[in-house]
Structure 1
Amino acid sequence: MNPYIILAIAIISEVFGSSMLKVSNGFKKMLPTMGVILGMGLAFYCLSLALKTIPLGTAYAIWSGVGTALTAIVGVIVYKERLHAKKLMGLALIIGGVVVLKLSSGI
């Protein structure tokens, strides 16, 4: 399987796990807590598989940058968090940085 598809699965799993943190109520609600454990476990497993091919710096930058941006978007859409100019600018900078790292990696 393409390592970037595996990395995408890692990112989506991490975003899911992070989103479940919000509703786990400090790990007091069992189902969301299980979502955190499963999401984060799958995320790290897939990240480890992607690292067999993708350089560490590139993979981690993509994983953390895209994961951060997607988690912020989930916060706005699902949890009705406020979206303002500073947040948009920060997200654009994160995505821009990931793109530059990807372009510089030669992969």
Structure 2
Amino acid sequence: MTWLVLAGAILAEVAATLSLRASEGLKKKRWIAPVAAGYLGAFGLLTVALAQGMPVGIAYGVWAACGVALTALGARVFFKDALTRRMAAGLGLIAAGVLLIELGAAAH
């Protein structure tokens, strides 16, 4: 259950960040509510995951890494941002790092 809560935190943060981009620096006012709700939801769910006993190093590491990767992919899909081979390799390294964190946590 804790991993599902963390996944929700990650998705909320990604949605908030992509909404922030869509707001064009908060100039498009209709995006302010999704930005605020997304970030509040992300930190709220991260708090719940920590309260359920997930170690902070694992929770924050996975949250941040997955957030970076999913935001980059979302920006490519929704805003046509660049996603070069080098950037894709970086995303692969992020995925490998998250996997190593999870494997390390399981072994502990």
Shorter-chain TM-score: what band?
over 0.9
* 1:63-95 per-position Cα deviation (integer Å, ceiling 9, x unaligned): 011111000000111111122111101101111
Number of the residue aligned with 2:2: 3
- Report the equivalent of 2:32: 33
Structure-2 residue corresponding to 1:13: 12
Shift of 1:20: 0.7
What is the alpha-carbon root mean square deviation over aligned residues? 1.1
Report the alpha carbon displacement of residue 25 of structure 1 after superposing the two structures with TM.
Answer: 2.0
Give the superposition deviation at 1:26. 1.6
Q: Which runs of 4+ in 1 moved over 6 A?
A: none
Letter in 2 for 1:77: V
Partner of 1:59: 59
| TM-score normalised according to structure 2 size | 0.93
For the residues of structure 2 that align with 1:76 and 1:28, how far apart are their CA atoms? Answer: 21
1:48 has 2:47 as partner: yes
Distance 1:28 1:58 in 2: 36
TM-score, normalization by structure 1: 0.94
Greater Cα shift, 19-28 or 96-105: 19-28
Q: CA deviation at 1:100?
A: 0.4
Identity %: 35
Give the number of equivalent residue pairs. 106
Higher helix residue share: 2
Structure 2 unaligned segments of length 5 or more: list them: none
SS at match of 1:81: coil
